[in-house]
Structure 1
Amino acid sequence: MNKKYAFLGLTAFVSVTINAQNFQQNKQAVYNQIINEVETNNQLEHLAFELLDEIGPRLVGSPQMEQAHNWVVATYKKWNIKAENIPYGEWKSWQRGTTEITMTSPRIKSIEGTQLAWNINSKKAVEAEVVAMPVFQSKNDFENWARSVKGKIVMISQYQKSGRPENQWKEHATKEDFDTYKKEKTDDLTAWNNSIKATEKSLRELVKYLETKGAAGFVQSYNTGTMGANRIFYSFAQTVPMVDVSLEDYGLLYRLAANGKSPKIKINTQSKNLGTTKTFNTIATIPGKTKPNEYVMLSAHLDSWDGAQGATDNGTGTILMMEVARLIQKYHPNNDRTIVIGHWGSEEQGLNGSRVYIMDHPTEVQKIKVLFNQDSGTGRINYIGGQGFVNSYDYLGNWLQSVPEHIRKHIKTDFPGMPQSRGTDNASFVAAGIPAFNLNTQNWDYGQYTWHTNRDTYDKIVFEELEKNVITTTLLTLEAANDPNEISNEKRVLPKDTEWPTVKEPKRSAEDY
């Protein structure tokens, strides 16, 4: 680059920074610099690579979760942003290893599947016949059958006759066949639910009971209805292997068992139980200059389930907030209000990290004037609700005018809206009376395809959408951090028989879960 023009560019940047004391005069120049960097030199793909490919999924209590917390702190340090890990409890420490599932009879076949979280390390492979639960008419039916499971691997999910998603049936089948398909699907689900109800046990209790009867393991298939996508949560079994397998392989095993072919599988898992470990929140801070005791907070949970990489839940929210902080620190660090970034732990087990922050930091919580949270996938921001705060339209609607029109036109708003009581971390702050807004996004089949599934991987991120979210969130944050007006937290009058959400106790250990 020509040194003269490089110097002029530096001079222009310094000039904008020096004059930032009068934000309203210079903000468009700052905004233009930020938008240009997002469009030409953002760090989103690099951050996603380091978090998702290198560290991987972030199950609470796992070594990868602690590694992720440390990575966030180290990354902020490189950007000259102060950050720290704040411990608040402990969780069982479990590290996922390899899972090998093989059908050994009536033929040899690799089975697609994975061990469920916090399941035991069986130390050696378990090979046994696979049996499917019959339809139970009564508790007595179930208990009589339960005597036969000793030494066998039990299938505990409903059999799906069709592996095709409903949208394909709707598009390609005749109306008559589609209607028949829907009726059969509804009838089969009703029969399954009635059979489980007849046992007088939840599915979790059923598994534990069958363990006491000597079951050698359990196989489930928690398919979402989208081809290849299964939800991967935690193991109900305490002493024997429990795995989730693909709809296709589950169907194969079920049909073999139902037709008297006595299929066998071998389960070899190499997970590690590492005892207990501390759990953390990571908090970063860009200090304010004229109103340092008033906070604008950015919020995203860092943990994930670990069936895949946790890319859209909530890797996208994490790297979004980190990139917003980087841009603010680079282009406009001298804001009126302090900007705090919360990367929460154990959101997936019940908003624990954000609830802990409410409980453990009451002084800091009272300083929060507004909060922006993101935890709904990879799509562009398309909806912001007022969360029941009477005057949210006045300030949030005004701040949104700073967002470029080609992005803003996709964002619908609802004021004052209703307070959110659950779902993601902004609900913890709404309960505490903080105007805490979730930045809802375009769906991109989030609920069916990537939310808590084995398909929530790096390649599902739509970076073009995420770039728009960085621009929106950065500008909203700067507007909030430098708004000379008070930010009202007055609550609306709620409809009859409706109450404002209450602050809830967090879970600080696995024993509470």
Structure 2
Amino acid sequence: MENQIGKNILRMKGNKKLNHMNNNNPYLDIDQQMVGDIYTSSQVMDNLTVLCDDFGARFSGTPEEQQAAKFIADTFEKYGLQNVGFETYSYAGWLRGEATLEIIEPIHKPIKCISLPYCPASEIESELISVGYGAPEDYQRLASDIKEKIVLASSASSPNLGRWVHRKEKYERTVLAGAKAFIFVSEHPGAGPETGSLQDDKAAPIPGISVSKEDGAFLTRLIERKGMVKLRLLTTDTNLPRNSWNIVGDLIGKEKPNEQIILGCHYDGHDISQGATDPASGMAIVIETARVLSQYAGNDLKRTVRFIAFGTEEIGLIGAYRYVDEHADQLDNIRFMFNLDAAGGKSRKGVVLHQWCELESFFQQAKKEMAIEMPIGQKVHPYSDHFPFLIQGIPTGHMGDAEAAPGGRGFGHTMYDTLDKVDLVNLRAGSSVAARLALRMANDPSFCPQRRSTETVQELLDTDPNLEGYRVAQKLTKHKNS
């Protein structure tokens, strides 16, 4: 019996050596320490619980957002990050007021609604028109009928279009068409109205509100059955200056301290919910990545890994834009910005590169070393904190699945995006992938991408189909300034 035990021990030792030889993973020991800690610790869920249950919505400019910022900064310091600090900035703030919507012809009926951020105070009576999915061809087809009316558009995207059409693109097409107001209809049953900003860092030119899928369906049927439907809309929101905060912390590289790998996510949510999945699950992953990298690789990083918690993303990526402006002299040193917005959701934990084909081989090699399922692909969009970096030519990507079909947010941006929707298994998976990738980006001498030229960036902005919403926004800006 003792001889058999001894043979088993020798066999296990031999297998361990064989695994080390066959794995060809230069970071195996650190990987095992980080992943083992992540999967045997509750820290990531504990931190998410504090963000959601103690600070609620963390809406831009509120005391709750500031309290969350302090918690993140304190946690960064507790985990051993250096240069931890607040970066305060001012912006065009917004406070929700009461919004009321009433059908006044051909029947009288109130409809529950909420204002969308940056909605102005207004009182409007006008006819309702539906643009269905609100695809570009819908606005083209109905161009002569939209002027002076209230436009109803679903949050869903046309299955025939091949891309996701963001709320802002639909709103801005509505404004350009000369409408009086915009109604955004949630595509998700039982979730109530879906919030989201109308503009970036400025008051919206016309009011915009949201209604539930069920009420949107009722309004659509009423148009189909009765023809002309007239509505009265009253909004009482306030646009006013406010302050917000970015929080920054570093793990300083030992060989190339000026070169930076940035991991970031915003921590502000919308005022109607905890924003547990979007964005707080991603913020918790940023914090967890900082914890394990600091503990197990803090003395082994060649490049600096910077962790950023951005404020005021939900109303226009303001924190990220302010960061890029304030750190203009450091942009040449950023090797990669990895956006972890909502990374603790249910999607596969892969890498979506923003049209950086030359970087794909690096991440494929990392995937091989890490021995995990990790989809890697190319797709870009302008609606999260990576975009201000992308505009500056900085290499960017986000955690997600480029192969996933375009779709809605689920509970995101509704009152039901609460802590109970987030699974610990997804938080752990996202944290594990983020930490292991950050280690490789910081240490691999071959990972040294440079900024794109202004001309190359402009070509991408002008031609990529998934940046059509950005182009529509630019068109509206020119229209307003003309």
- Asked whether the two chains share a fold, i.e. TM above 0.5, the reply is yes
Deviation at 1:207, TM superposition (A): 3.3
Paired residue type of 2:32 = N
Taking a change above 3 Å as real, the CA distance of residues 34 and 250 of structure 1, as seen in their structure-2 partners, is same
Question: 2: distance between equivalents of 1:370 and 1:49?
Answer: 29
Taking a change above 3 Å as real, the CA distance of residues 422 and 31 of structure 1, as seen in their structure-2 partners, is same
Deviation at 1:25, TM superposition (A): 10
* Structure 1 length-normalised TM: 0.63
Residue number in structure 2 paired with 1:438: 398
Aligned residue runs from structure 1 range 415-430, under 5 A:
420=380, 422-430=382-390
Paired residue type of 1:75 = T
Paired residue type of 1:367 = N
Aligned residue runs from structure 1 range 206-355, under 5 A:
206-207=179-180, 220=183, 222-228=185-191, 230-234=193-197, 244-249=210-215, 275-334=240-299, 335-355=301-321
Question: 2: distance between equivalents of 1:84 and 1:34?
Answer: 26
Select between 43-52 and 420-429 the one with higher mean Cα deviation.
Answer: 420-429
Preserved CA contact (<8 Å) 2:121 2:234? no
Aligned residue runs from structure 1 range 150-229, under 5 A:
157=152, 202=175, 206-207=179-180, 220=183, 222-228=185-191
Deviation at 1:445, TM superposition (A): 8.8
Question: 2: distance between equivalents of 1:329 and 1:497?
Answer: 34
Among all aligned residue pairs of Structure 1 and Structure 2, give the percentage whose two residues are the same amino acid: 22
Paired residue type of 1:332 = A
Question: 1: distance between equivalents of 2:329 and 2:260?
Answer: 11
Residue number in structure 2 paired with 1:51: 51
Preserved CA contact (<8 Å) 1:233 1:307? no
Residue number in structure 2 paired with 1:499: 459
Residue number in structure 1 paired with 2:80: 80
Taking a change above 3 Å as real, the CA distance of residues 99 and 135 of structure 1, as seen in their structure-2 partners, is closer
Deviation at 1:446, TM superposition (A): 6.1
Deviation at 1:480, TM superposition (A): 2.0
Residue number in structure 2 paired with 1:186: none
Taking a change above 3 Å as real, the CA distance of residues 118 and 34 of structure 1, as seen in their structure-2 partners, is same
Residue number in structure 2 paired with 1:396: 363
Preserved CA contact (<8 Å) 1:312 1:451? yes
RMSD of aligned Cα (Å) = 5.2
Paired residue type of 1:412 = P
Q: Quick one: which of 392, 410, 413 aligns to 1:452?
A: 413
Deviation at 1:39, TM superposition (A): 1.2
- SS for the counterpart of 2:254 is coil
Give CA-to-partner distance per residue, 1:183-228, whole Å, 9 cap, x none. xxxxxxxxxxxxx9xxx973995436xxxxxxxxxx9452225453
Taking a change above 3 Å as real, the CA distance of residues 230 and 30 of structure 1, as seen in their structure-2 partners, is same
1:473 equivalenced with 2:446 (yes/no): no
Question: 2: distance between equivalents of 1:492 and 1:79?
Answer: 34
Taking a change above 3 Å as real, the CA distance of residues 467 and 98 of structure 1, as seen in their structure-2 partners, is farther
Question: 2: distance between equivalents of 1:486 and 1:140?
Answer: 56
Preserved CA contact (<8 Å) 2:197 2:315? no
Q: Quick one: which of 306, 320, 338 aligns to 1:372?
A: 338
Q: Quick one: which of 347, 357, 369 aligns to 2:323?
A: 357
Preserved CA contact (<8 Å) 1:87 1:279? yes
- SS for the counterpart of 1:424 is coil
Taking a change above 3 Å as real, the CA distance of residues 101 and 361 of structure 1, as seen in their structure-2 partners, is same
Deviation at 1:310, TM superposition (A): 2.2
- SS for the counterpart of 1:499 is helix
Structure 1: state its 5+ residue gaps. Answer: 1-23, 147-153, 167-181, 183-195, 209-218
Preserved CA contact (<8 Å) 1:300 1:375? yes
Preserved CA contact (<8 Å) 2:127 2:231? no
Residue number in structure 1 paired with 2:376: 413
- SS for the counterpart of 1:68 is helix
Deviation at 1:499, TM superposition (A): 2.1
Number of aligned residue pairs: give it: 414
Deviation at 1:427, TM superposition (A): 3.5
Question: 2: distance between equivalents of 1:204 and 1:358?
Answer: 33
Question: 2: distance between equivalents of 1:291 and 1:275?
Answer: 43
Question: 1: distance between equivalents of 2:284 and 2:218?
Answer: 40
Q: Quick one: which of 417, 421, 425 aligns to 1:464?
A: 425
Taking a change above 3 Å as real, the CA distance of residues 432 and 235 of structure 1, as seen in their structure-2 partners, is closer
* Structure 2 length-normalised TM: 0.66
